[in-house]
Amino acid sequence: MYAKPIQELIRAFSRLPSVGERTAERFVFHLLKSGKKDVTEITLTLKNLIETVKSCEVCWDFTDKSPCDLCSDVRRDHKVICVVTQAQDRETIEHTGQFMGVYHILRGTLKTDDDNIAKYLKINELMNRLQKNEVDEVILALNPDISGETTMMYLERQIKKIAPLIKVTRLARGLPMGSDIQYADEITLGSALKNRVSS
């Protein structure tokens, strides 16, 4: 059996997505072999991450200042909000160069319509934002899978209730069902965004 500190670090790494116990073991022994320099660098960057990265109070992206650069950018169109599941999707959409509005990061999707998780997502924050600001359009850019669809239908109903004049759109078909926006190719995603359709 490994020494306790080794076991503990293996357990900690195993909690990361896509890291099984074998991979976690490999990480730990790599660090033990590579000596203090790598470990110190990782420790410092992790500490820095935890101490400086916070949530943008407008879009709920992870940022080192709030409001984040994008939310404070006057060249962006603040009347068009693109709703995405997670920060990585925002990054992918930015890379298409086809969107000049602003974002709202939901931080997850609903599994069912009356999912309890709704209160943990940034849905109320989105509704507050729509009520407090002049918004023309909300683009629902969630993954084309079951929970993405469920969430988009839920959001659409909520938006119609509180702000019926706001146009709600979705990405044009083109992204295969079940695909992940985070990994979509920029050209397909860019055109799905440009040719978005009314919801």
Q: Which two tokens stand for residue 8?
A: 């503990």
Measured CA to CA in angstroms, residue 48 lies from 86, 134, 142 at distances of 21, 36, 30
Which residue is associated with the tokens 């009520």? 131
Q: How far is the CB of 172 from Zn ion (least distance, A)?
A: 26
Q: How far is the CB of 59 from Zn ion (least distance, A)?
A: 3
Could you tell me if 165 and 109 are in contact, meaning their C-beta atoms sit under 8 angstroms apart? Answer: no
Could you tell me if 106 and 139 are in contact, meaning their C-beta atoms sit under 8 angstroms apart? Answer: no
DSSP state of 117: G
Residue 61 or 89 with smaller CB distance to Zn ion: 61
Q: How far is the CB of 58 from Zn ion (least distance, A)?
A: 4
Residue 71 or 171 with smaller CB distance to Zn ion: 71
CA atoms within 13 A on the CB side of 159: 24
Residue 101 or 144 with smaller CB distance to Zn ion: 101
How far is residue 166's CA from residue 146's CA, in Å, rounded to a whole number?
25
Interacting residues with Zn ion (CB under 5 A): 56, 58-59, 61, 68, 71
Q: How far is the CB of 88 from Zn ion (least distance, A)?
A: 15
Could you tell me if 56 and 63 are in contact, meaning their C-beta atoms sit under 8 angstroms apart? Answer: yes
Residue 30 or 54 with smaller CB distance to Zn ion: 54
Pairing of strands 137-140, 167-170: parallel
Q: How far is the CB of 123 from Zn ion (least distance, A)?
A: 17
Residues 6+ apart with CB under 8 A from 120: 107, 108
Residue 28 or 81 with smaller CB distance to Zn ion: 81
